[in-house]
Chain A
């Protein structure tokens, strides 16, 4: 058994750790509230925008509508935008995203390039020797659309230049405080199959196939304006969802860590008390033994 002094040190260090984790938990709790508000505020707009894009993609003769809608005859390269956090200590949050990405794209039919959003994701992708073409780290907390629109624009540009023929977005969907799910979304070219929004199916059931739109002003100008913008908006929403997820994951992870530390302290304290009592008993025995030896003389 360890000595009493060693045990005292151990207990103290565990207590210190629990203090740190509790502080981190409190910080995350306040950050998560803000992040969730931000997500909820923009979610309806982003969902609606995505719906509009999908309706556009449903149009008859979509290939002639806009270059961003054309399905290319052969796919040579794919691009994946991976959204993670800048920091660790968030439970399995970062590694989940990367593991999910690896699952989806490690054995993909064509070479895959990556855009990393978040330092942790970048590091993990580098370690796996992925082709990372760009890295956006240290994003501000609760970014505005302007702060991150460059990421979406870069993805759209890569697609437009023909460097890649498909663009995917991997992020963590915020469901609730206890549940965040790594998700993949195909951004370009717009597709109908894949993750269908429930509303889409409902609408189709009630209306039959979509009729052709009229466009005002003219079709080209309008689509030029909205398709790149709404696509970039999806990246923005993904970042907000991911940030909320990150803070929630960190909060839960830190709460667990604090609970574990408390348990550990009480277990250690018990052992320590026993050791201390044992020493005292031994000391008393020595004294009593000594005294009796003296009295016997």
Chain B
């Protein structure tokens, strides 16, 4: 018994496949979705979508969005999403530093620029967090010189 899972971000399809369980970062907390789940419509927080298929787990970051659950399918419409394995850790780290620096300079808090930088910071932190927690073999930034 499996449930279909489709994760799409605004610019591409990130994942499709039949899986055993999907764990979503719902607005009211994490929710695990098994096949034949009752229909749910929920907003998503910044967090991780985890899908498990015969013991193997894949993890995706989502930067907010909406998920629709039907008994046979979970559709995740993420504002931005990516597979943890795809994350470029060095780039995320650089982006985080950049965002922090810009925010430190003190842009007025109610401007668009401030909100954009804040969102960028949250995304970078999410990515780094994802790599630390879920990447197979852990963070790979220190090994890059070996290959």
Tell me whether B19 is interfacial, beta carbon within 8 Å: no
Closest 9 A/B residue pairs (Cβ): A216-B42, A41-B11, A213-B41, A214-B40, A213-B39, A45-B8, A217-B27, A44-B13, A52-B68
6 further A-B contacts with Cβ under 8 Å, apart from A41-B12, A42-B11, A211-B71, are A52-B68, A211-B39, A215-B42, A216-B28, A225-B43, A226-B41
Bound complex: CA A39 to CA B13 (Å): 13
In the complex, chain A residues whose CB is within 8 Å of the CB of B12: 41, 44
Of A48, A145, A207, A215, the contact of B6 (CB 8 Å cutoff): A48
Tell me whether B70 is interfacial, beta carbon within 8 Å: yes
Across the interface, do A203 and B11 meet the contact criterion of CB distance under 8 Å?
no
In the complex, chain B residues whose CB is within 8 Å of the CB of A44: 8, 12-13
Of B6, B10, B41, the contact of A222 (CB 8 Å cutoff): B41
CB nearest neighbor in B for A225: B43
Tell me whether B66 is interfacial, beta carbon within 8 Å: yes
Tell me whether A206 is interfacial, beta carbon within 8 Å: yes
Question: Using a CB-CB cutoff of 8 Å, which residues 210-249 of chain A contact chain B?
Answer: 210-217, 222, 225-226
Tell me whether A252 is interfacial, beta carbon within 8 Å: no
Tell me whether A269 is interfacial, beta carbon within 8 Å: no
Chain A's nearest CB lies how many Å from the CB of B20? 20
CB nearest neighbor in A for B31: A216
Question: Using a CB-CB cutoff of 8 Å, which residues 92-111 of chain A contact chain B?
Answer: none
Across the interface, do B40 and A207 meet the contact criterion of CB distance under 8 Å?
no
Chain B's nearest CB lies how many Å from the CB of A49? 6
Across the interface, do B39 and A214 meet the contact criterion of CB distance under 8 Å?
yes
Counting chain B CB atoms within 10 Å of each CB, the highest count among A203, A207, A214, A216 belongs to A216
Chain A's nearest CB lies how many Å from the CB of B116? 11
Bound complex: CA A45 to CA B76 (Å): 9
Tell me whether A56 is interfacial, beta carbon within 8 Å: yes
18 contacts between A and B (CB under 8 A): A44-B13, A45-B9, A45-B11, A48-B75, A52-B66, A52-B75, A52-B77, A203-B70, A211-B39, A214-B39, A214-B40, A214-B41, A215-B42, A216-B41, A216-B43, A222-B42, A222-B66, A225-B43
Tell me whether B47 is interfacial, beta carbon within 8 Å: no
In the complex, chain B residues whose CB is within 8 Å of the CB of A225: 43, 66
Majority SS of interface residues in chain A?
Answer: helix
| Number of B interface residues in the complex (CB < 8 A) | 24
Tell me whether B18 is interfacial, beta carbon within 8 Å: no
Of A45, A49, A211, A222, the contact of B43 (CB 8 Å cutoff): A222
Tell me whether A55 is interfacial, beta carbon within 8 Å: yes
Across the interface, do A217 and B28 meet the contact criterion of CB distance under 8 Å?
yes
CB nearest neighbor in B for A221: B43
In the complex, chain B residues whose CB is within 8 Å of the CB of A45: 8-11, 77
Bound complex: CA A55 to CA B28 (Å): 22
Chain B's nearest CB lies how many Å from the CB of A227? 11
Question: Using a CB-CB cutoff of 8 Å, which residues 13-54 of chain B contact chain A?
Answer: 13, 26-28, 31, 38-43
Tell me whether B58 is interfacial, beta carbon within 8 Å: no
Across the interface, do B10 and A216 meet the contact criterion of CB distance under 8 Å?
no
Tell me whether B129 is interfacial, beta carbon within 8 Å: no
Chain B's nearest CB lies how many Å from the CB of A148? 13
Across the interface, do A145 and B39 meet the contact criterion of CB distance under 8 Å?
no
CB nearest neighbor in B for A199: B73
In the complex, chain A residues whose CB is within 8 Å of the CB of B43: 216-217, 222, 225-226
In the complex, chain B residues whose CB is within 8 Å of the CB of A207: 70-72
Of B8, B39, B71, the contact of A48 (CB 8 Å cutoff): B8
Chain B's nearest CB lies how many Å from the CB of A42? 6
A216/B27 contact (C-beta < 8 A), A41-B12, A45-B9, A56-B41 known: yes
CB nearest neighbor in A for B16: A44
Bound complex: CA A264 to CA B72 (Å): 61
Tell me whether A51 is interfacial, beta carbon within 8 Å: yes
Chain A's nearest CB lies how many Å from the CB of B36? 11
Bound complex: CA A196 to CA B127 (Å): 38
A42/B66 contact (C-beta < 8 A), A52-B77, A217-B28 known: no
